[in-house]
Structure 1
């Protein structure tokens, strides 16, 4: 049967499906410029969500093609799939997006077979693609030299990135001033100074971004120039950013994915890696919309880390969750989250609702305040990679999800997120200045999420984390909802003096009712922090503030949330 088994036909059908996916992905991506130029901000949000959903949609379509074309006893003969993989390798070798096509193949295999059938013989657990060396110059870049004038350098750049600018000369003057502030004077006068920019423009939400680097014979600096469309006033260059930390935040795991046309994805990721060496390639692939391949790269990094270190899983620091149990690897900057079999009595959600909430976060505008997640099924780890206390706790709280199979620990379902310092723990050890900055950013996080139509629900400090750049990010999604679904109310005045002394409310409370006046003691046990937050963000305690945001959202307004700090503008 091996001789006549249709390995080549199956491989070709899988790749045809990938071509169809890439064509639809590219079509959505290429529409980004027009949406930006026409200020169609709601269309931007819809396109972003549609592109995220496209992958699973197309995998489902190709699964259907295969099942229609081949009988199950042929298609599901897993012992023959090494032949499919071999045929597929031959088909993708000439491609410029071959690493993505490997991930696509893996997705199709996993849609057909249970996870216990996974092996490197049948699919691409390890890539077969060569890596691009970091010193190679990307083909899709443009290089500019000052020729004695920074203004001339900037003018040459903007001549190549043609938009209807409102006041380009004013922009150039401001950008030149910012550039001189960012770089030492000797660098600005260095005759070897040059700029290398990626030719395609990156688009996200209400912004467009020129991305590249400044470099001379000795050093380099990342360079990002955000462009904004001021409706009725044309396009404006909003800032010039050369700080690596600021650029890293622009490509953060808390942001929506960029729209950028990259025929050779590995080449662009390699270019980004040169200017952001602290970013893992998994995060960079994800940042430009290839989140499934980012997941593949993450998994490969994880198994390589486990194989090459003595690291063992431990419970994550912080208050134990009422819905999720969280564990981590000390040497790997990720947490693993599983749903408990039984929730704390105060929680009214069920398992299906929690899963829906976490999946919702994937498709909304995260405005830099929601941690991105990856969902995994049937993780298998060696038992000796777990600290005994960690394994015992996981088996106790989630026996339907965590199981022992001999010397292997099976995790049937989990999410991964970037590890952060829980805000409540951060504040315990923070200086007075750090407390002020953290609480200011905590309030901004709540406000920016709300303006993007996201209500965190459980806003306790323990449900927010602090990133390595000091940004406050929400990461616990079991009670998240759209802001417009919430009924914000003022507490009614007491009917009688005795009402205020009662332990029970004197007013009715609906399932979607929220009373912002109750926030202060709920959020802060520390009186000093409570008073400071009231000074910084006291409007959050007023139901009318929230109702105003709801009204703006219902009117179709899309807020400006900049992925770079105010000082950069």
Structure 2
């Protein structure tokens, strides 16, 4: 190895870039408390977008620093990089965010080199971090024994997690939360409450998260706080149902702002109260979406190594823009953009990419699936069912390539949580299930609209049903902001013959939408059409959409709660 090869210096520059990123990440995150206390809701949404964009900005800055410091001949010789990795491991070993530092290193390496050069020798395909660090770490939880007085215990909790803005009525809130707990858990379960020491912020809410211990089991515990502009801080709800807490941490929601001294320990804590969640999703839920991406990839290669499953086409109607495939035992779909779209689609490839990236940066209000974007996946040909591979090679030959080595290269794709397509769910659902899911479908459209999102293509096939029975939108090639749409009523016909004509008798601009057309467009089945009209008929009226646009234009941010609010809230 040449003497001038500065492996240690390069490792330090990479880590310096990571420190810069972490500092800025924490500044944005720690500002969440003040934004909550001041009711600065537009600033809250802006901060969420800025924090997501921060990672790529800092990766680029670090890459540029390296390129200015070293020649391409030196920096881009992959043979030297095992030494950089070894030096970097020594630097991050004492850290409490070491797993995030590994992922950062991977991002820098991938920004410099072709994905063909990815290997465990040069980067961290598999983590070198132990599952639990041996050294002592900062205590991250607080314990509260009820001692026979749950209302008093909850009052103490609220006092300990005080804000600069006072509680509207701390004692009344404590009594109300104690009653909610009594309604959900037996009194003999009240042995100990353990809460994470930090507050989680998202949108217009703040959350305390932890668990409550009984004699032989535990339950998750979340206390939801809201800022009432007239009264102050209000403890809005206490949630102990695992499914409801899981929904609050859903892949369909924006990322929490929470100051986490030891990320791995906090994710482990969340995993202990939400065992059904994968750690990739938990990392993502608290803003470490790149770490979530790393954990997802590791889970994927582990699944492939432990099974002989093949990729197959995902069930449902074939998309006009995307081709979607999946692994039966891995709860994810993989979406690639087709080379040629259906003639009814007038968008271009770059627009589709922009739409999918947009979704990561906006408030998904629990109604849009988060995505992860990947480049240059490689899998052995035999891991694809023949009909699946044939279809991918036919519809997306510029993205899916069968290499001479026998590997299948996926140049670009998105991953999403797999759901049951709504149209397929309805085919198998009972009458009661149909009513419930169609009601939630209408709520999903309304909540997206309240967040200034118009799905564009609202066909049932573009929505999915989660394991919790929630309806989620997942096809983004036609989404836009609600304020960009011109909702119109269909003008009355000029003559009787107008209604029989092949072409409309009125002009239609590109952004014009006629809600009166929704019923026949969305429902071929007249019974489902009538049922949906009973549940959400206002969606077929242009006035409904225009009133939402007016509220958004006036600066109103409409509340969409990620939990069931008590009736007295």
State the TM-score, normalizing by the size of structure 2: 0.98
Say which SS state the counterpart of residue 492 (structure 2) adopts.
coil
Whether the aligned pair in 1 keeps the contact of 2:355 and 2:478 (CA below 8 Å) is yes
Return the alpha-carbon distance in structure 2 between the equivalents of residues 91 and 186 of structure 1. Answer: 49
Return the alpha-carbon distance in structure 1 between the equivalents of residues 47 and 366 of structure 2. Answer: 18
Whether the aligned pair in 2 keeps the contact of 1:138 and 1:267 (CA below 8 Å) is no
Return the alpha-carbon distance in structure 2 between the equivalents of residues 470 and 139 of structure 1. Answer: 37
- Which residue of structure 1 lines up, in the alignment, with residue 289 of structure 2? 291
Matched, 1:453 2:455: no
Q: Deviations over 1:43-81 (max 9, x none)?
A: 000000000000001101111111111111111011110
Matched, 1:19 2:19: yes
Return the alpha-carbon distance in structure 1 between the equivalents of residues 24 and 244 of structure 2. Answer: 32
Return the alpha-carbon distance in structure 2 between the equivalents of residues 496 and 155 of structure 1. Answer: 70
- Which residue of structure 2 lines up, in the alignment, with residue 492 of structure 1? 491
Return the alpha-carbon distance in structure 2 between the equivalents of residues 432 and 20 of structure 1. Answer: 56
Return the alpha-carbon distance in structure 2 between the equivalents of residues 115 and 442 of structure 1. Answer: 40
Return the alpha-carbon distance in structure 2 between the equivalents of residues 446 and 151 of structure 1. Answer: 39
Q: Deviations over 1:472-493 (max 9, x none)?
A: 0000000010111111111011
Return the alpha-carbon distance in structure 2 between the equivalents of residues 151 and 454 of structure 1. Answer: 41
Return the alpha-carbon distance in structure 1 between the equivalents of residues 279 and 139 of structure 2. Answer: 19
- Which residue of structure 2 lines up, in the alignment, with residue 53 of structure 1? 53
- Which residue of structure 2 lines up, in the alignment, with residue 64 of structure 1? 64
Whether the aligned pair in 1 keeps the contact of 2:237 and 2:566 (CA below 8 Å) is no
- The CA deviation at 1:551 is 1.1
Say which SS state the counterpart of residue 263 (structure 1) adopts.
coil
Matched, 1:113 2:107: no
Runs of at least 4 residues of structure 1 off by over 2 A? Answer: 1-4, 185-188, 565-569
- Which residue of structure 2 lines up, in the alignment, with residue 168 of structure 1? 170
Say which SS state the counterpart of residue 511 (structure 1) adopts.
coil
Matched, 1:10 2:6: no
Say which SS state the counterpart of residue 240 (structure 1) adopts.
strand
Q: Deviations over 1:465-519 (max 9, x none)?
A: 0000000000000001011111111101101111011121000100111000000
Return the alpha-carbon distance in structure 2 between the equivalents of residues 166 and 158 of structure 1. Answer: 12
Say which SS state the counterpart of residue 529 (structure 2) adopts.
helix
- Which residue of structure 1 lines up, in the alignment, with residue 179 of structure 2? 177
Return the alpha-carbon distance in structure 1 between the equivalents of residues 537 and 280 of structure 2. Answer: 39
Return the alpha-carbon distance in structure 1 between the equivalents of residues 437 and 486 of structure 2. Answer: 28
- Which residue of structure 2 lines up, in the alignment, with residue 95 of structure 1? 95
- The CA deviation at 1:133 is 8.7
How many pairs were matched up?
Answer: 564
Matched, 1:548 2:547: yes
- The CA deviation at 1:217 is 3.2
Whether the aligned pair in 1 keeps the contact of 2:223 and 2:238 (CA below 8 Å) is yes
- Which residue of structure 2 lines up, in the alignment, with residue 316 of structure 1? 314
Say which SS state the counterpart of residue 424 (structure 1) adopts.
helix
- Which residue of structure 2 lines up, in the alignment, with residue 149 of structure 1? 149
Return the alpha-carbon distance in structure 2 between the equivalents of residues 145 and 138 of structure 1. Answer: 21
Matched, 1:186 2:188: yes
Whether the aligned pair in 1 keeps the contact of 2:237 and 2:565 (CA below 8 Å) is no
Whether the aligned pair in 1 keeps the contact of 2:538 and 2:544 (CA below 8 Å) is yes
- The CA deviation at 1:155 is 1.6
Return the alpha-carbon distance in structure 2 between the equivalents of residues 565 and 155 of structure 1. Answer: 22
State the TM-score, normalizing by the size of structure 1: 0.98
Return the alpha-carbon distance in structure 1 between the equivalents of residues 86 and 430 of structure 2. Answer: 59
Runs of 5+ consecutive residues of structure 1 not aligned to the other structure: none
- Which residue of structure 1 lines up, in the alignment, with residue 337 of structure 2? 339
Return the alpha-carbon distance in structure 2 between the equivalents of residues 187 and 372 of structure 1. Answer: 36
Whether the aligned pair in 2 keeps the contact of 1:518 and 1:541 (CA below 8 Å) is yes
Return the alpha-carbon distance in structure 1 between the equivalents of residues 457 and 138 of structure 2. Answer: 45
Return the alpha-carbon distance in structure 2 between the equivalents of residues 216 and 474 of structure 1. Answer: 38
Say which SS state the counterpart of residue 239 (structure 2) adopts.
coil
- The CA deviation at 1:3 is 2.9
Q: Which of 366, 370, 379 lines up with 2:364 in the alignment?
A: 366
- The CA deviation at 1:186 is 3.1
Alignment of 1:91-490 (within 5 A): 91-132=91-132, 139-163=139-163, 164-188=166-190, 193-405=191-403, 406-490=405-489
Q: Deviations over 1:347-388 (max 9, x none)?
A: 011100000000000000000000000000000001111111
Q: Deviations over 1:298-324 (max 9, x none)?
A: 000000000001111000000000000
- Which residue of structure 2 lines up, in the alignment, with residue 80 of structure 1? 80
Return the alpha-carbon distance in structure 1 between the equivalents of residues 60 and 543 of structure 2. Answer: 45
Whether the aligned pair in 2 keeps the contact of 1:212 and 1:222 (CA below 8 Å) is yes
Runs of 5+ consecutive residues of structure 2 not aligned to the other structure: none
- The CA deviation at 1:138 is 7.7
Return the alpha-carbon distance in structure 2 between the equivalents of residues 507 and 257 of structure 1. Answer: 44
Whether the aligned pair in 2 keeps the contact of 1:132 and 1:270 (CA below 8 Å) is no
Whether the aligned pair in 1 keeps the contact of 2:189 and 2:213 (CA below 8 Å) is no
Say which SS state the counterpart of residue 238 (structure 2) adopts.
coil
Return the alpha-carbon distance in structure 2 between the equivalents of residues 179 and 40 of structure 1. Answer: 31
Say which SS state the counterpart of residue 2 (structure 1) adopts.
coil
- The CA deviation at 1:567 is 5.3
Q: Deviations over 1:517-566 (max 9, x none)?
A: 00000000111110111111111111111111111111111111111124
- The CA deviation at 1:246 is 0.2
Return the alpha-carbon distance in structure 1 between the equivalents of residues 186 and 418 of structure 2. Answer: 35
Q: Deviations over 1:388-437 (max 9, x none)?
A: 11011100100000011122110000000000000000000001111111
| Cα 1:9–1:376 shift into 2, 3 Å | same
Q: CA RMSD in A?
A: 1.3
